[in-house]
Amino acid sequence: MSGQHKMNQRWFVGIAAMVGLAVGTAFAQPIGDVDAGRDKSQACIACHNANGVSDNPAWPILAGQHADYLVYALEAYRSGDRVNAIMNGQAQGLSDEDIRDLAAFYAAQDPALSIVRRERSRR
């Protein structure tokens, strides 16, 4: 491979990396407005509590869930692709913006579950 070809290849890889970073940064933007989601979450509090940590095992914990998963779940409840008598009714009146804002709010909450790391025994 010639020296000029190697230089062109490095230049191309550098440009591709910068474009990739710029595109990745654009996609890393928040999915919705956390404060608006907090305001819109009033109907959710009865089952999921104010911070999204339900004390009833029948209702899922929303705090710390991935925002895109929450968007997916709420859209599926709204469309009827995911069936739950309570959630289908709750999601029916939500706009796309409402869903994104609720997802942003619950994703921003501290996760209720954590992983306990154990030291490996040295036997």
CA neighbor of 65 nearest in space, from 79, 51, 45, 84 = 51
40 membership: H or E segment, kind and range: helix 34-40
Structure confidence at residue 29 (pLDDT): 61
12 pLDDT higher than 80? no
More confident residue, 84 or 27: 84
pLDDT tens digits for range 39-68: 999 999 999 999 999 999 899 999 999 999
CA distance 22 to 78: 33
Q: Would the pTM of this model clear 0.95, i.e. be above it?
A: no
Structure confidence at residue 26 (pLDDT): 47
Going by the DSSP 8-state scheme, the letter that residue 110 receives in this structure is P
| Tokens coding 5 | 């070809």
Please check whether residue 67 is in contact with residue 103, taking contact to mean a CB–CB distance below 8 angstroms: yes
CA dihedral sign, ordered 106, 74, 84, 88: positive
pLDDT, mean over the chain: 83
